[in-house]
């Protein structure tokens, strides 16, 4: 156990400071997109950076390779990022790389309410998917057979808990599902309410949610815009991940669109005017993968 005790955050070595947060705390803007606008940037896997109207930045679910070694999910390390707030939905390597962020605030598996400047984040405690019989590889079944880990609720290990995050800013309600099970209890649905932008794990292998489960979740949340994540990106995700692109799901949506770049700006009234839009970043990300591959190889 001594080795584990020596691991941990390295924030004490970071040259950044709280200056942006002090400014935001005093009601000042910090290079934001302006009133009634937000920016959303995709970093591959399940990771997004949200920028509020005032300029506060929140990074959700940064990824890393499996800590046990032997095989990788990603072709290189997560890019160096400075953000104001880092959040993680659950304790799996492809979501929990908070310690790599240059960040003033870290919210790991938030349960409850965080409020600062022009953002409110609510975390709802629930459970990770533990039934993947719909998946082409049934990874949950393999985990149950090949490891001592308890994955099924209610007595699952910590890594099979999940916090659903709902972020409120600019009059929008943005949900990050993480890897939550498709059937949380009624009180979770009641607490979440209606959503404007839903970030849902959607890929061609149906790794987390089946297409039918996605339909059921969308019918409850009634989002104006649904954005896939947790899918294969050709120059970021390793083939050993067994993930697939979300293209097949996108092709079956009546109102579907791919972004042209890795970061988009949303205007509130435009979001609320959309009806069942499926908006996908595809292979577009908000950093240059080739640069990270070079850094990793060095």
pLDDT along the chain (298 residues), means of 10: 59 94 94 95 98 98 89 90 97 95 97 98 96 78 81 93 98 98 97 97 94 97 98 93 94 97 98 97 93 64
Residue 6 has a pLDDT of: 59
Q: Can you state the percent helix, strand and coil of the chain, rounding each to 5? A: 25, 30, 50
Length of the chain: 298
35 assigned to some structural domain = yes
219 assigned to some structural domain = yes
Residue 113 has a pLDDT of: 98
Cα dihedral 133/202/204/59 (nearest 10): -120
176 assigned to some structural domain = yes
11 assigned to some structural domain = no
Q: What total of structural domains would you count in the chain?
A: 1
254 assigned to some structural domain = yes
Residue 237 has a pLDDT of: 94
**pTM for the whole thing?**
0.94
Q: Taking a C-beta distance cutoff of 8 angstroms, is the pair 96, 90 a contact?
A: yes
Residue 71 has a pLDDT of: 79
Sign, CA torsion 75/70/49/167: positive
Residue 2 has a pLDDT of: 39
95 assigned to some structural domain = yes
Q: Taking a C-beta distance cutoff of 8 angstroms, is the pair 153, 101 a contact?
A: no
29 assigned to some structural domain = yes
* CATH number of 88's domain: 3.60.15.10
- Residues of the domain holding 218: 16-297
């Amino acid at each position: 156990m001594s080795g584990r005790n020596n691991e941990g955050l390295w924030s004490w070595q970071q040259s950044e400071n709280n200056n942006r947060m002090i400014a935001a705390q005093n009601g000042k803007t910090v290079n934001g997109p302006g009133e009634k606008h937000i920016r959303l940037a995709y970093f591959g896997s399940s990771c997004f950076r949200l920028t509020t109207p005032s300029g506060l930045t929140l990074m959700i679910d940064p990824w890393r390779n499996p800590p046990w070694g032997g095989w990788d999910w990603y072709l290189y390390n997560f890019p160096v990022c400075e953000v104001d707030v880092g959040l993680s939905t659950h304790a799996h390597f492809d979501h929990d790389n908070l310690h790599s962020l240059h960040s003033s605030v870290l919210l790991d598996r938030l349960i409850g309410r965080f409020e600062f400047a022009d953002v409110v984040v609510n975390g709802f405690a629930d459970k990770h998917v533990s039934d993947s019989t719909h998946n082409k590889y049934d990874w949950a079944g393999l985990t149950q057979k090949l490891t001592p880990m308890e994955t099924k609720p209610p007595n699952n290990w910590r890594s099979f808990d999940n916090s659903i995050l709902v972020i409120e800013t600019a009059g929008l309600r943005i949900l990050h599902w993480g890897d939550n099970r498709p059937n949380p209890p009624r009180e979770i649905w009641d607490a979440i309410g209606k959503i404007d932008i839903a970030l849902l794990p959607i890929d061609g292998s149906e790794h987390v949610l089946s297409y039918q489960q996605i339909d059921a979740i969308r019918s409850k949340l009634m989002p104006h815009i649904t954005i896939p994540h947790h899918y294969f990106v050709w120059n970021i995700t390793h083939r050993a991940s067994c993930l697939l692109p979300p293209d097949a799901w996108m092709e079956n949506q009546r109102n579907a669109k791919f972004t042209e770049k890795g970061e988009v700006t949303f205007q509130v009234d435009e979001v609320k005017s959309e009806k069942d839009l499926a908006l996908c970043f595809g292979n577009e990300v908000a950093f240059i993968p080739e640069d990270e591959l070079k850094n990793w190889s060095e």
